[in-house]
Amino acid sequence: MIFKRAQELLDSNISFVTVTLIEVRGSAPQDLGAKAIISLKGLEAGTVGGGKVEAACINRALEILNQSSQQAPQTISWNLQKDIKMTCGGEVTFLFEHFALSSWKIALFGAGHVSQALTRALLNLKCQLTVIDDRREWLDQLPQSSKLQKLCLPQPEQAVAQFDSDTFFISVTKGHSSDVPVLHELAKLYPDAPYIGVIGSVSKANALKAELIKLDVNEDFLKKLRVPIGLKFGNNDPEEIAISIVAELLTVRDAWLKSRS
């Protein structure tokens, strides 16, 4: 039951802390190995003894969850009588492990063949993915997942404003005529996003940049724009293209995270 709940929270991208009783001296209200899961809502599953000791564990878990970054595993030892004000005279040690929610946000414009494969590949990773298209029938072919949001908009570029400058943006739309409005919005709102890329060829890259220059998009944005996207391996099968794009995304993500640390 407790492991099932942990997986549900992971799938829903909800941060939580597991608390495990790893050492007991004297008497204690629970056995070694007792485990509980705590989210910002409180106790989700399991128990490490109830009463005052469990309340102390919940309070410590909430302190961890309210930190702005992933916390390393930590152990805490308490004397139940002196520290927790219980009548038990024992001592207990708990292990606190933090499972932080994913902050890797990806916006994928287009839901066609490559996007279908790319979405399925990305959903195996710890990320939050939004796919935007004006074709409901293509969005409906995407899998259901708590990690995935589907947006059907007559003008997909309208979705750009709902993201932020930490989002990774990918355009795999029907063609360069539908890529341009998205890129124009990105150039205005989030030119410094860590990743802005478009599927295509070198000739498509030239055509896109020519269109964007006409729209007064600055040179810095054009230099940063990735087109074609994906590392250079594999063939033109959608699944292999998706793998090459994911490899590039992970490479950029890791370098970006390192630069921020």
Q: What is the pLDDT of residue 68?
A: 66
Residues 176 and 208: their CA atoms lie apart, in Å, by 6
CA-CA-CA-CA torsion sign (205, 206, 207, 209)? positive
Residues 20 and 130: their CA atoms lie apart, in Å, by 35
Q: What is the pLDDT of residue 5?
A: 93
Predicted TM-score (pTM) of the model is: 0.75
Tokens 């921020």 sit on residue: 260
**Two tokens, residue 82:** 């002196």
CA-CA-CA-CA torsion sign (208, 225, 143, 136)? negative
Q: What is the pLDDT of residue 100?
A: 84
Domains contained in the chain, CATH given: 2-99 (no CATH), 105-260 (3.40.50.720)
Helix orientation angle between 176-189 and 202-214, rounded to the nearest 10 degrees: 50
**Two tokens, residue 19:** 């608390």
φ and ψ at residue 85, rounded to 5 degrees: 65, 40
Residues 51 and 29: their CA atoms lie apart, in Å, by 9
Q: What is the pLDDT of residue 138?
A: 97
DSSP the chain: -HHHHHHHHHHTT--EEEEEEEEEES--SS-TT-EEEEETTEEEEE-SSSHHHHHHHHHHHHHHHTSSSPPPPEEEEEETTTTS--S---EEEEEEEEEPPP--EEEEE--SHHHHHHHHHHTTSS-EEEEEES-HHHHTTSPP-TTEEEEE-SSGGGGGGGS-TT-EEEE--SSHHHHHHHHHHHHHH-TT-SEEEE-S-HHHHHHHHHHHHHTT--HHHHHH-B-S-S-S-S-S-HHHHHHHHHHHHHHHHHHHHHHH-
Q: What is the pLDDT of residue 27?
A: 81
Q: What is the pLDDT of residue 261?
A: 65
Q: What is the pLDDT of residues 166-201, one digit of tens each?
A: 999 999 998 888 999 999 999 999 999 999 999 999
Q: How far is CA 224 from CA 66, 193, 237, 258, in A?
A: 35, 10, 26, 19
Q: What is the pLDDT of residue 260?
A: 76
Q: What is the pLDDT of residue 90?
A: 85
Residue 219, C-beta contacts closer than 8 angstroms, at least 6 positions apart: none
Low pLDDT (below 50) residues in the chain: none
Tokens 């878990």 sit on residue: 61
Q: Are 151 and 131 in contact (CB under 8 A)?
A: yes
